[in-house]
Structure 1
Amino acid sequence: MVRVLIIEDEIIIARFIEQQLLSGFQCTTRIAVSIEEAKAAMAEMRPHLLLCDINLNDERSGIELITGLRQHYLFEVIFITSYQNRSVIAQAAITHPANYIIKPVDEAQLFAGIQLVMQRINPTITSGDKVVRHSDLFNDTERSILQLIRDKKTTKEIASTLYLSPYTIKNHRHTICRKLQLDEGNNALLKWVMQNSNYI
């Protein structure tokens, strides 16, 4: 079942969001009204989805909180906030949120905004888990290849950039797929890279 953490310092709004989640989705929920509570919940609950306000009446914003959590956990995030100005939205975009919902929200807005993200979450895979450090998983060449795959470079272009043969690049791709336990067909590696671009 999908685990959802609601990070919202106004408890009435948090309870409203929680009620809508439980009535509309198969999920378990937890509320954190402060950054410290959110950090504790991340370690204990390992949520797949975070619904996070930006103004948490703390020294740090929701954006700063999410930026820090991204270094340790895999999850999707939806910002639910009253901030509408472009500079804040641009700052939020750096954290790669799955959605950005502007308050005040009603039941229909909330359901639509969350439903689009829920469809992408597979609770049996990596969401909610600790981030695997790629410095441990991949060597320097493999990391360079992943970065070039992220930039949509072909095997031939990657070989040219790294001064290696296409055959060598194919061997490295095979090794990477084996480490990630990926099927080498159906662009599985490219899909993995695009989904995990924050951690490459």
Structure 2
Amino acid sequence: MRVLIIEDEIIIARFIEQQVKANFNCTTAIALNFEEVRMLVPKLLPHLILCDINLNEEHDGIHLIEQLQSQYAFGIIYITSYQSKAIIERALNTKPLNYIIKPVDETKVYTAIKLVENAVISHLKFGQELSNTLPINAIELQIVRLILKQQTTKQIAETLFLSPYTIKNYRHRICTKLNLKDENNALLKWAMQNEDLIS
């Protein structure tokens, strides 16, 4: 199992790596920022990513994971001290396997990974680059996934912290790219027919 730890505090990152190596048969790597993540992921192709939500960058860890999920298949465990409903709702959209609540200790790290270890190892796609043949980008793919969940334009706007007007523009652009008629249920029907492709 290949594990990537994304944590901007090096002492915490090293501690987590120590615990992972001591308790699991795996290869590990640490990324302290977005740039290091983008360099490491294509080389490591992680099966599991442990990602801090607050990375002291322009965007947070959830945003980073959303971008990575459009290109790679992996399991995600968030490391967080956040407990706000809005943050948790955003995190849930990326389908995390587990959470580690800060402060981090040996038991929390071990338990969080142990509970999902078999699922990660047995998942056929984890640890691979996705062959995404869809002509849409990461944010558009995310919108299609939310449409599949039958969210309205207003709900999607709230989930992605964008305006409903922006979401309408995205929907129109997606329909154009997919050669669909720009009508109410066209995208939902397409998403239902292509669920395997967009999941």
The two structures share one fold, judged by TM-score above 0.5: yes
* Distance (Å, rounded) in 1 between the aligned partners of 2:197 and 2:108: 28
What is the deviation of 1:122?
2.5
What is the deviation of 1:118?
1.1
1:56 — aligned with what? 55
SS at match of 1:114: helix
1:70 — aligned with what? 69
1:105 — aligned with what? 104
1:187 — aligned with what? none
Deviations 1:23-57 (A, max 9, x none): 00000100000011011111111000000001111
Contact 1:48 1:123 in 2 (8 A): no
* Distance (Å, rounded) in 2 between the aligned partners of 1:109 and 1:10: 18
* Distance (Å, rounded) in 1 between the aligned partners of 2:4 and 2:101: 18
Residue 108 to residue 26, structure 1, CA distance change in 2 (3 Å)? same
Residue 130 to residue 15, structure 1, CA distance change in 2 (3 Å)? same
2:43 — aligned with what? 44
Alignment length, in residue pairs?
A: 143
Residue 104 to residue 37, structure 1, CA distance change in 2 (3 Å)? same
Contact 1:48 1:128 in 2 (8 A): yes
* Distance (Å, rounded) in 2 between the aligned partners of 1:47 and 1:132: 16
Q: TM-score, normalised by structure 1?
A: 0.66
SS at match of 2:50: strand
Root mean square deviation of aligned Cα:
2.3
* Distance (Å, rounded) in 1 between the aligned partners of 2:52 and 2:93: 16
1:23 — aligned with what? 22
Give 5+ residue unaligned stretches, structure 1: 137-146, 152-195
* Distance (Å, rounded) in 1 between the aligned partners of 2:198 and 2:121: 19
SS at match of 1:55: coil
In the alignment, structure 1 residue 9 sits paired with structure 2 residue 8: yes
Residue 104 to residue 68, structure 1, CA distance change in 2 (3 Å)? same
Equivalent position amino acid for 2:14 in 1: R
The structure with the largest alpha-carbon Rg is 1
What is the deviation of 1:7?
0.2
Deviations 1:53-89 (A, max 9, x none): 0111100100000000000000000001111111111
Contact 1:134 1:199 in 2 (8 A): no
* Distance (Å, rounded) in 2 between the aligned partners of 1:51 and 1:6: 5
Q: TM-score, normalised by structure 2?
A: 0.66
> Percent of pairs identical after alignment?
47
2:168 — aligned with what? none
What is the deviation of 1:117?
1.4
Deviations 1:155-180 (A, max 9, x none): xxxxxxxxxxxxxxxxxxxxxxxxxx
